[in-house]
Amino acid sequence: MNVFFGLMIPFVGTTFGAACVLFMKKELNPLVQKAFLGFASGVMVAASVWSLLIPAMDMSGSMGKFAFIPAAAGLLLGVGFLLVMDKAVPHLHLGSEESEGPKVALKKTTMLVLAVTLHNIPEGLSAGAVFAGVLAGNDTVTMAGAFALAIGIAIQNFPEGAIISMPLRGAGISRGKAFLWGAASGIVEPIAGGVTLLLASQIQPLLPYLLAFAAGAMIYVVVEELIPEANEGEHSNVGTIAFAVGFVLMMVLDVALG
């Protein structure tokens, strides 16, 4: 049950964020959006390092000087996986008029949701991989550390949920539907986490690769999408400052609870 609740925590964060549309009348201020995107980026980068890459290398300690190999290979595979998904799934980024991926006749709102859903897949993978390490009895990953990661993802999912539901409301969708779309974009996280958990239980030796794979996928999202979106329009340091705050918060959570 602890693992189940842990995998659901990020989805709860997205749902609470999407609920902002039920109480707020206007779209998010551009500076607030930049802050949210920067904060989410900082949390994801810190989680990738402390909760995923370092444990992956610790688990491979028996390889001596080559303990970096699973982490390096897994990270590159994660980046490659998201690169393929980026090309295979039609989606539209916030503030953009040109969709990415295959050209299909989908509504703008649908493609916005698909873009956020793509963001959420690596977060679900990372939570599933860390909880898999806990269930495997690996000393480098603790239940407290796994919950720290899940809580950190939930914190950065809160603004993400608002970022998707508020523009949907601005596009003319009712508050209720905008909330449901925003919340639905996060349901992929517990699903991806559960699938990762099942795979990891069958291939324990590959757990370091799975951790690093999740880290690579998360870093891809940050570099490819979140940071560029946080710096669109008029120049501002808000996104950079929020990145630092998110990074430090996730680092403190992981070290203090892990």
Dump the DSSP string for 105-119: ---HHHHHHHHHHHH
- pLDDT of 212-249, one tens digit each? 988 998 899 888 888 888 887 777 788 899 999 999 99
- The pLDDT value recorded for residue 116 is 75
The count of other CB atoms within 10 Å of the CB of residue 98 is 6
- The pLDDT value recorded for residue 130 is 85
Mean pLDDT for 124-129 is 85
Mean pLDDT for 145-173 is 81
Q: Residue 139 above 80 pLDDT?
A: no
Query: Cα Rg for the chain, rounded, in angstroms?
Result: 18
H helix intervals, 136-226: 143-170, 175-184, 188-202, 207-221
Q: In percent, how much of the chain has pLDDT > 70?
A: 89
Mean pLDDT for 14-32 is 81
- The pLDDT value recorded for residue 27 is 67
- The pLDDT value recorded for residue 77 is 94
- The pLDDT value recorded for residue 96 is 64
- The pLDDT value recorded for residue 105 is 62
Range from 99-103, 133-137, 150-154, 224-228 carrying the lowest mean pLDDT: 99-103
Q: Which two tokens stand for residue 210?
A: 């799975």
d(CA 132, CA 106): 36
- The pLDDT value recorded for residue 106 is 65
Q: Residue 25 above 90 pLDDT?
A: no
Mean pLDDT for 114-130 is 81
- pLDDT of 51-109, one tens digit each? 889 988 988 888 888 889 999 999 999 999 888 888 877 766 666 666 666 776 667 66
Range from 108-112, 119-123, 203-207 carrying the lowest mean pLDDT: 108-112
pTM for the predicted model, two decimal places: 0.82
- The pLDDT value recorded for residue 75 is 94
Report the phi/psi class of residue 137: left, alpha or beta, with left for phi > 0 and alpha for psi in -120 to 50: left
